[in-house]
Every structure is written in structure tokens, then in C-alpha cells.
Amino acid sequence: MLYFAHAVRTICIVIPMLVNVNSARAWQDSRNESKCDAPVNYLNMVSSAEDNLERYAEISDEIEGYSAEAKEYADLASKYAALSSKILEKDSFDQKAYEYAALADKYAGMANEAVTEIAQAEEEERLAAEEEARLAAEEEARQAAEEQARIAAAEEEARRAAEEEARIAEVAEADPDEEDNTGSEPETVAETPETEESCETETEEESEDNGWDGSVLTAYKGVNYGPSGKETYYNLDMTPVITLMRNLGYSESDYPYWIRDDGCKMFGDYIICAANLDERPRGTLVLSSLGMCMVCDTGGFASVDRYWIDIATNW
């Protein structure tokens, strides 16, 4: 805009000067044609023309100065255009940098998720290993308990067998003529005596409970022949027997250990008894004169009579 203003100004000055010069030349021509002498006016006109020419030279110098300024302005405009291009390039670079930063944040989030998943997997693996170790330890402890229970049961069985043999020998010495109807060894003698009246009363009550109308095993009699064969009783610690049955899967909630009012040791709803395990494995139900029994134990007597059962009581 500044360059345009200087150009307009220059034109406004130069045009009148050119008009004056042409006017002077036209006047001189007219004077030559008319052959009129007017030296004074002519000199004045020439002087005015010279002044105008000097002014024109000055204006030309100004125009050249304006041209230099215009060139500088053009250079500045070129530099501004280059700077604008660089600014645009910088804006584009900033946009790309922003996009790259967003991608970096995204990948960082994905990396954090991967680290979290790896940590969770390692934690789950650690917990699984701990659980496996715990189960292995529990299984080892259970097997050790079962082994201890089997050892205790074997020792108890050996002790009971010795006691049973001693008791059978004692019965044989006390009454050598008595024999059972199966041809087995003499019957065991009871340790705690009872009156005939109490035996008869108990026999009647138990017969009504289990449907057995025959004789009932009592502490006074010591031996009885019930619905499943020969019956005797014994009074020993049941802890090893109960432990062994628990290890076989008989839970305490379903098969609690307790003692019935008549002295029978119970395993849930069944009386605990010992029997020949080849004939009647553990868990077999056997009907006796005292009620339904469950085979939980065995003894040396089982080798004498395969159908002999020894009922657990506190007599």
C-alpha cells in the first residue's frame, strides 16, 4: 500500500510538468510561426521548464528510492511467505507429534494391561501351586493318619485276639462239656452278673424293637445265638475303630459315635460289632438280637466261626 501511494504521488507531480513542457514547446512553435518576438516570456517559460525538469529529476530519484523500498518490501514478503510455509510445516509437525503422543499413550496403556495380566497369571499360578501343595500335604497327612489307624487297629486286633483266646481258654476250662450248635469254641463268660428277672425283661424289650422273638444277648448270659449266628460282647476303646471308619468315608455328621441306654456302642443308627471280614466286610449290616449292627471291627474269634459276631458294649 505504501508503494502504491508513492507511485500515485509521483504521477500527480510529473503529469503537470509534462503539460507545462508541452505548453512551452507549443508556444515556442506558435511564436516561430507567427515570427513574434517575445524574448522575456520565452525566457520565463524556459526557466519554468528547467525548474520542472529539475523537479522531475528529484522525483525520479524519489521513484528510484521507492523502487528500492518496494524491492525490500518484496523481499520481506518472500521471507514472510517462506516463514508462513515453515509455520504451516511446524503446525503439521505438531499435529503429527500429537498423534504420535496419542499412539504412545495407547501403547503404554496396552503394555500396562499386559503387565497386569502377566502379574495376575503369575499370582494365579502361585495360588494354584500353593493349593496343590496344601492338597498334597493334606493327602499325605490323611494317608499317614490312615496308616496310623491301620497300625493301631492291627495292634488292637492282635491284643483283642490274645484276650479272646485267653477268654475262650478260660471258658473251656470252666465248662469243658459246653459246645455251641455250630461246633465252635466254648462261649465267653460274662463279667458283670445280672438277675434272671432283668435278663427276661431286656429280652422282651429288644425282641419287640427288632422283630427278633428269640433270646437276647445280655451281660449275664455272655453268649447268645441270635438271628445271624453266635453273639458275644466286648468292651474296649473304640477310638481306633472309629478313626478307621472315618477314613473309609463314614462322616461324623451321618455316623456319630454314641452309647445307647442299654450299653450298646453305636455308630450312627447301628450297633458296632466285630466279625469275619472275609465273610462280612466293614460296613456290612448284620441283624442281631440287640438290633441292627454294622461291621466295623474284627478279632481272633473270627477264625473260629465265620458267622460269629462280637458286639461292642460298655458292660
Where exactly are the structural domains of the chain?
Answer: 2-96, 175-312
Which residues make Cβ contacts (< 8 Å) with residue 146, sequence separation at least 6? Answer: 244, 247
Task: Decide: 178 and 187 in contact? Cβ < 8 Å.
Answer: yes
pLDDT at 237: 92
Predicted TM-score of the model (pTM): 0.39
Distance CA(155)–CA(276), nearest Å, equals 17
256 or 149: which carries more pLDDT confidence? Answer: 256
Q: What is the pLDDT of residues 10-21, one digit of tens each?
A: 666 656 665 565
312 versus 177: which is more confidently predicted?
312
User: pLDDT exceeding 70 applies to what percent of the chain?
Assistant: 65
Q: What is the CA radius of gyration of the chain?
A: 66
Long-range contacts of 154-158 (CB under 8 A, 24+ apart): 156/236, 156/237, 156/240, 156/241, 157/297, 157/298, 157/299, 157/300
Which three cell numbers mark 201?
A: 425283661
Contact status, residue 230 vs residue 188, Cβ threshold 8 Å: no
What integer pLDDT is reported at residue 173 of this predicted model?
63
pLDDT band at 277 (very low <50, low <70, confident <90, very high): very high
pLDDT confidence bin for 72, thresholds 50/70/90 = confident
Inter-residue contact 162 to 300 (CB < 8 Å):
yes
pLDDT of 289 over the 60 cut: yes
Phi-psi region of 41 (alpha: psi -120 to 50; beta: other; left: phi over 0): alpha
pLDDT at 276: 93
Does residue 256 sit in helix, strand or coil?
Answer: coil
Cα of 171 vs its chain's centroid, Å: 68
Greater pLDDT, 288 or 18: 288
Beta bridge partners of 265: 259
Phi, psi of 305 (to 5 degrees): -140, 120
Q: For residue range 126-182, what is the model confidence (pLDDT) as tens digits?
A: 888 888 888 888 787 777 776 776 777 667 667 776 776 776 666 566 544 444 443
Per-residue confidence (pLDDT) for residue 30, from 0 to 100: 63
Residue 186, amino acid: P
Mean pLDDT check: name the lowest of 26-30, 70-74, 279-283: 26-30
* Per-residue confidence band for 52, with pLDDT thresholds at 50, 70 and 90: confident
Q: What is the pLDDT of residue 202?
A: 46
Mean pLDDT lowest among 98-112, 153-167, 221-235, 254-268 = 153-167
Q: What is the mean pLDDT of residues 255-260?
A: 95
Q: What would the mean pLDDT of 77-94 be, rounded to a whole number?
A: 76
Helix and strand numbers, DSSP H then E, in the chain: 4, 8
Average pLDDT value for the chain: 75
Q: Give the pLDDT score at 119.
A: 87
Q: Residue 207's pLDDT is what?
A: 46
Which set of grid coordinates corresponds to residue 74?
518484496
Whether pLDDT at 106 is above 70: yes
Rounded to an integer, what distance in angstroms lies between the CA atom of residue 22 and that of residue 26? 6
- Indicate whether 205 pLDDT > 60: no
Question: Is it the case that residue 265 has pLDDT exceeding 70?
Answer: yes
Identify the residue with better confidence: 167 or 72: 72
Quick one: what percent of the chain has pLDDT higher than 90?
Answer: 26
Q: Which whole number is the average pLDDT over 212-225?
A: 89
